[in-house]
Amino acid sequence: MSDDLISDQDYEALAAFRHAMRRFAAFSEMEAKASGLTPRQHQALLAIKGTPSAPNGLAISQIAEHLLIQHNSAVELVDRLAEAGLVRRQSDPADGRRILVTLTERSETVLRGLSAAHLRELRGIRSTLLALLRRF
């Protein structure tokens, strides 16, 4: 483990890349918060909206997979989203165990604004991120 050869430039590249990712994450947190969402809630909405292969909504287990969180955490996340009126739960007619989670009009609107802001931000930092990535 201790015979890895890591140069100072490697460390610098890693630090710079993580800093850039953290900057984007912090931007996203701010935007989400300004819209009354937590980052996780935002990502859940985006996963539902951005999965065209699932037009009837995402199952809770799919949300967990997409966000790489535990299933029970996804349940709780959906609890909070539903309580805030941002998603609806509908049981899957094809499989009674599954709950399909869909957006509401309100979350569609919120997500639209958030996505516009994120697109702007990403277009602004795109070249920086590309340059940082190419250092690896």
Partner DNA sequence: CGTATATATGTCGTATCACGATATATGTGG
Partner DNA sequence: CCACATATATCGTGATACGACATATATACG
Select 18 or 71, whichever has its Cβ closest to its own copies. Answer: 18
Exactly one of 10, 76, 92, 95 binds its own copies (CB under 8 A); which one?
10
Site mask for DNA (CB under 7 A), range 49-78, x = bound: ----------xxxx------xxxxx-xxxx
* Widest Cα–Cα separation across the chain: 57
15 Cβ contact list (under 8 Å, min separation 6): none
Which of the choices its own copies, DNA, none does residue 61 contact, using the CB cut-off of 5 to 8 A by kind? DNA
Q: What residues contact 131, with CB distance under 8 A and at least 6 apart?
A: none
The SS3 of residue 128 is: helix
Chain residues in the site for DNA (CB under 7 A):
38, 40-41, 59-62, 69-73, 75-80, 89, 92, 95-99
